[in-house]
Amino acid sequence: MGDSGYGGGRLACRWAGWRDRLAGRHRQANARAGYLSPPSGRGGLVWVKAGAGRDSVAVAADLAGAVLERRRDLRLALTFEQAHPEAFDRLDGLTRIGVGFGPADSAAAIRRTLHRLSPLGVVEVATELRPRLSMALSARGLHHAVIDCFPCAEPVPSPEWVLTARTGQHESWLCAETPGELLGPSDPLTLLTQAQLEPSLRALTGCDTEAPLLWLHGPPVEQLNRCLANWRAIRMESRPGLLAISADSAGTRHALAEVLRTVQPDFCSTRSWNRRPLAPGSVMLVDSPQWIPAVAVACHAALLIDAARAVCWQAMAAGAAIVDGGLCAPGGPTFALSDLSCIDALFGKVATVLSSPAQQRRLGDSARREFWRERRQAEEAMARLLDRVFEW
């Protein structure tokens, strides 16, 4: 993120601040320079520092809420590099917290931030660890914990507490200087996953066991036509059902919609759907991310070609029959194909799963067990972090 304006580059920070002010984002520019204001009141302050991603901000907000609910004598500052207002619902009704953009990693901004906030310690969540903050915390003897972060690219003092979320991340910390306490891998995103859902979407769309619902997430835009051809072939072998297509980013969803307007002009989108049963063989574009849990619990099979960790966990929590699940395991390699024959082979496996309710149950049960195992580990790790923070 060297060009994000939050690294330590002086020119990049100044340019980002100037650009913010031209756009009227004066609060973000001030925060980037370290002019943060602590929440009012008395009591020690804990700084929870999130990054730019929605998952980072959501986990940080959940942690902040847990701290404030258990300790009425603490204050909390939650900062981020990109705003995601929907992630702040967890904080509704809570006081003694300040929420806003964070500082860059320049020496002046970090010095100014630590002086103004005077925190007991810092918890960094799913963000890039930057050297000046790490060195400043160590020099001042302040507590430092990190969640779902890779080690800093430069040699700096290690945090006293680390929770890793993925196997590769855990191995990176083992290869680096070992922190005071290393936990994981266990993914805190599982704590935010909707785990208790009813498959009401099947009734709404008109799908049943003989007219299955297939969930296709993250297909390459340039190969969507090939995916649709395979879906039509499956439809011809069995009773036509429903194909639900989704993607992680808004840009990809828009690109998929453009292709569908050309090759499948009668497709339905969740934004425009009137909640009436769909015609057999319909294609639905899930262009509203809030529909993902409903699709996950209702589908008879899921093909997650390129999925974020949060989507993988949602599919597993819902007990979706994930086809070739090793390719979409959270923290595993992303799945981006250039070989069209691989798409054909995967849809061959999809056809097999859709034709076997017993295999659907077996795959779904396996995914659900793995989700709950991971979630229990994350609950234990986060409880240990809260205990550590309360000792500060």
Residue 125 and residue 55 in contact, taking contact as beta carbons nearer than 8 Å = no
Name residues whose C-beta falls within 8 Å of residue 277's C-beta, 6 or more positions apart in sequence: 204, 205, 206
Stated as kind and residue range, the H or E segment containing 253 is helix 250-263
What is the rounded average pLDDT of the residues 134-144?
A: 96
**pLDDT surpasses 60 at 174:** yes
What is the rounded average pLDDT of the residues 243-256?
A: 95
Question: What CATH superfamily classification does 200-374 receive?
Answer: Glycogen Phosphorylase B; (3.40.50.2000)
What is the rounded average pLDDT of the residues 222-227?
A: 92
Sign of CA dihedral 64, 65, 71, 76: positive
Q: What is the pLDDT of residue 210?
A: 67
Phi, psi of 322 (to 5 degrees): -80, 120
Share of the chain above pLDDT 90, in %: 66
Q: What is the pLDDT of residue 176?
A: 82
Residue 96 and residue 68 in contact, taking contact as beta carbons nearer than 8 Å = yes
Highest mean pLDDT among 8-22, 202-216, 279-293, 326-340: 279-293
Query: Exposed (0-12), middle (13-18) or buried (19+): which is 39, by Cβ within 10 Å?
Result: middle
Strands (E), 23-73: 45-50
**pLDDT surpasses 50 at 207:** yes
**pLDDT surpasses 80 at 326:** no
Which comes out higher in pLDDT, residue 378 or 326?
Answer: 378
Read off the DSSP letter of residue 287. -
**pLDDT surpasses 60 at 18:** yes
Read off the DSSP letter of residue 89. G
CATH number listed for the domain at residues 10-185: 3.40.50
The structure tokens listed for 339 are 């070989």
Q: What is the pLDDT of residue 332?
A: 47
Summarize pLDDT for 148-157 with one digit per residue, the tens: 999 998 888 8
Give dist(CA 5, CA 3) in Å, integer.
6
Look over the chain and give the mean of its residue pLDDT values, rounded to a whole number.
Answer: 89
Q: What is the pLDDT of residue 191?
A: 96
Task: Give me the residue spans of the domains in the chain.
Answer: 10-185, 200-374
What is the rounded average pLDDT of the residues 54-79?
A: 94
The region that residue 93 occupies, defined by phi over 0 for left and psi between -120 and 50 for alpha, beta otherwise, is left
**pLDDT surpasses 80 at 280:** yes
Which residues are registered as beta bridge partners of 302?
Answer: 215, 322
Helix (H, G, I), strand (E, B), or coil: what is residue 47?
strand
Q: What is the pLDDT of residue 101?
A: 96
Q: What is the pLDDT of residue 330?
A: 58
**pLDDT surpasses 50 at 1:** no
